[in-house]
Chain A
Amino acid sequence: MSTPEKEPLLSAKNLKLLTSPVGKNNPITVQVLGICSALAVTVKLKPALVMALSVTIVVAVSNVVISALRSRIPDRIRIIVQLVVIATLVIIVDQVLKAYAFDVSKQLSVFVGLIITNCILMGRLEAFAMSNSPWKSFLDGLGNGAGYGLILIIVGFFRELLGSGTVMGYPVIQKLGLYSAGYENNGMMILPPMALILVGLIIWVQRSRDKSLIENK
């Protein structure tokens, strides 16, 4: 189609599509998209993991679908078409979660449905899938999902460990015997502002390691 010269499936350029959103072009810490759900679902690690997985699947598959249809979608109604595709996929994910992981689905509540409004999805469709081949779009979707998921998992891990004293529901702090030494869980970790502060700290660490991310004043 649009790429006449045969390119290997995982060429350096394609691999970069996969890795750059995890680091240098992270959707949360660099593009600052999808913050809302990052604050809402990261109280515990498990819902954060499930959310990361759901978003990755939806963004990767919708990228492929839209990319395959891109030459047939009339420009004026492209947003509606994109939304139909995303909404369909989100409903499928929601139903699957309700069927096979009901507890987590209940914890995530409306936030699975709200994947539709996650800026990362529309952003990738508009910026990438509308002008690239399906395979590249798939890699881009996977990469962005992973970048989003990575931050969610880091934030979820620390919030659960410090806020509830557990990791994936396993009482780490209690097993280490820290409670009897006078340690107490930090109630602020459970509140959304702390998630924002944690994301801020991750941005701080990332920028101090990679100076090229710091904007010129």
Chain B
Amino acid sequence: MKFLREKIDKIKPHFTEGGRFSKLRSVFEGFETFLFVPDTVTFRGAHIRDSIDLKRTMTVVLVALMPALLFGMWNTGYQHFRSVGVEAGFLQMFLFGLVKLLPLIIVTYVTGLGIEFIAAQIRGHEINEGFLVSGMLIPLIVPIDIPLWMLALATAFAVILGKEVFGGTGMNVLNPALTARAFLFFSYPGWMSGDKVWIEGLTQGKNVVDGFSGATPLGLLAQNQGDLLPSFRDMFIGTIPGSVGETSTLAILIGAFILIVTGIGSWKIMLSTLGGAVFMGLIFNAIGANPYMEVPFYYHLVMGGFAFGLVFMATDPVTASQTETGKWIYGFMIGLLSILIRVVNPAYPEGVMLAILLMNVFAPLIDYYVVQANIKRRLKRAAVALNTNVR
């Protein structure tokens, strides 16, 4: 460690103002603070210092994503071998998924971080770590068969138009990972829905077992084939076709546990989103006008990307409501809208993506009214106190 510190201190002058590589200052800073706790101190006023900074926060989220990622790798292999009807062992399935998923992760990171680095140099900012999480989220919410160039394009779109034009990490209105997914969904719907893209090799028409269908639970329901739905247990554990990281509610719950225990993810948003979804699901169960509405409400919680969106997207601290009361409203509306969009408009099977993006836009408005209501209440209290004093 000491050796590393000395090396870094030795090359540091080159990167300061007027040095040979002063243009790459923020790149250097990025790496230095990645390795060591920064030694810069505030020069006015006292600030409470905590060991949690943006980098540590992001690292915790990455750790929370690991169960879903690892399960996604295994499931990619499992679904593939199931579709071609070949027996395979656990390790074989896992390695197959690893090899298929790595290119997606690498392409996303290279594109996204590349743009972030360039943007940081142009603006003279330090490099923000925001993309560390987005870059892992994006491969987990796309089908495994997505062409890599589409993934790169969507990532670039999300980072530039979803984030950098608003001022970079912390200033974005929309969740970057979901922006990338929405871009793909509307640009290349053929690659983002249907019953082929979710399983490796199916789009290229590799030899498939007779009668095999790669449709996701939501896809089945949208086509009125609800009787083919997998069992609740399968959907909970996640041995179903779907986007890479969202199939296993169990793995996502482990992630949710990590986020809640460390205090990184807001349990209020998670709970209220769950509440909103259950509420809407119960209403549809009560109406029961078509087979889709009759699907038991608890099925909605394990189907599609609902659980993944709830734990990792809705709780994004930048795009969610900031006020505590606002979080309840924000989460509840996400849950409600997710199920509403899903059931009422099967053309958009993944309601949770649109619901979160929509509520991202409304979050500042919710905060505004919560703050205003608070000001009004306190003014009233002050007025009462004033009146009693005068008397």
Give A residues with C-beta under 8 Å from B.
Answer: 182-184, 186-189, 191, 197, 204
Contacts of A184 in B (CB 8 A): 147, 150, 188, 190-191
List 13 A–B pairs whose Cβ atoms lie within 8 Å, in order of A's numbering: A182-B147, A184-B147, A184-B188, A184-B190, A186-B187, A186-B188, A187-B186, A187-B188, A188-B186, A188-B187, A189-B187, A191-B186, A197-B161
Contacts of A182 in B (CB 8 A): 147, 149
Question: How many angstroms between the C-alpha atoms of A186 and B157 in the bound complex?
Answer: 13
Q: B158-173: which residues lie under 8 A (CB-CB) from chain A?
A: 161, 165
Question: How many angstroms between the C-alpha atoms of A165 and B150 in the bound complex?
Answer: 16
Q: Taking the nearest CB of chain A, how far is it from the CB of B340, in angstroms?
A: 21
B297 in the interface (beta carbon within 8 A): no
Question: How many angstroms between the C-alpha atoms of A204 and B161 in the bound complex?
Answer: 11
Question: How many angstroms between the C-alpha atoms of A186 and B183 in the bound complex?
Answer: 10
Q: Taking the nearest CB of chain B, how far is it from the CB of A75, in angstroms?
A: 42
In contact, A187 and B187 (Cβ under 8 angstroms): yes
B189 in the interface (beta carbon within 8 A): yes
Q: B127-152: which residues lie under 8 A (CB-CB) from chain A?
A: 147, 149-150
Q: Taking the nearest CB of chain A, how far is it from the CB of B104, in angstroms?
A: 16
Query: Out of A186, A189, A191, A204, which one reaches B165, CB within 8 Å?
Result: A204
- In addition to A186-B188, A188-B187, 16 A-B residue pairs with Cβ atoms within 8 Å of each other are A182-B147, A182-B149, A183-B149, A184-B147, A184-B150, A184-B188, A184-B190, A184-B191, A187-B186, A187-B187, A187-B188, A187-B189, A188-B183, A189-B187, A197-B161, A204-B165
Question: How many angstroms between the C-alpha atoms of A184 and B165 in the bound complex?
Answer: 26
Contacts of B189 in A (CB 8 A): 187
Q: Taking the nearest CB of chain B, how far is it from the CB of A129, in angstroms?
A: 37
Contacts of B191 in A (CB 8 A): 184
Q: Taking the nearest CB of chain A, how far is it from the CB of B284, in angstroms?
A: 29
Q: Taking the nearest CB of chain A, how far is it from the CB of B102, in angstroms?
A: 20
Q: Taking the nearest CB of chain B, how far is it from the CB of A184, in angstroms?
A: 6
Contacts of A197 in B (CB 8 A): 161
Question: How many angstroms between the C-alpha atoms of A182 and B204 in the bound complex?
Answer: 12
Question: How many angstroms between the C-alpha atoms of A172 and B261 in the bound complex?
Answer: 56
Question: How many angstroms between the C-alpha atoms of A204 and B166 in the bound complex?
Answer: 12
Contacts of B149 in A (CB 8 A): 182-183
Q: Please, what's the 1-or-0 string for B24-62, where 1 marks a CB less than 8 Å from any CB in chain A?
A: 000000000000000000000000000000000000000
Q: Taking the nearest CB of chain B, how far is it from the CB of A41, in angstroms?
A: 20
Q: B178-195: which residues lie under 8 A (CB-CB) from chain A?
A: 183, 186-191
Question: How many angstroms between the C-alpha atoms of A19 and B187 in the bound complex?
Answer: 37
Q: Taking the nearest CB of chain A, how far is it from the CB of B152, in angstroms?
A: 13
Question: How many angstroms between the C-alpha atoms of A122 and B313 in the bound complex?
Answer: 46
Question: How many angstroms between the C-alpha atoms of A186 and B150 in the bound complex?
Answer: 10
Question: How many angstroms between the C-alpha atoms of A184 and B147 in the bound complex?
Answer: 10
Contacts of B161 in A (CB 8 A): 197
Q: Taking the nearest CB of chain B, how far is it from the CB of A206, in angstroms?
A: 14
Contacts of A187 in B (CB 8 A): 186-189
Q: Taking the nearest CB of chain A, how far is it from the CB of B292, in angstroms?
A: 25
Q: Taking the nearest CB of chain A, how far is it from the CB of B157, in angstroms?
A: 9
Q: Please, what's the 1-or-0 string for B325-337, where 1 marks a CB less than 8 Å from any CB in chain A?
A: 0000000000000
Question: How many angstroms between the C-alpha atoms of A187 and B189 in the bound complex?
Answer: 8
Contacts of B186 in A (CB 8 A): 187-188, 191
Question: How many angstroms between the C-alpha atoms of A204 and B188 in the bound complex?
Answer: 26
The closest CB in chain A to the CB of B161 belongs to A197
Q: Taking the nearest CB of chain A, how far is it from the CB of B289, in angstroms?
A: 30
The closest CB in chain B to the CB of A193 belongs to B186
Contacts of B188 in A (CB 8 A): 184, 186-187
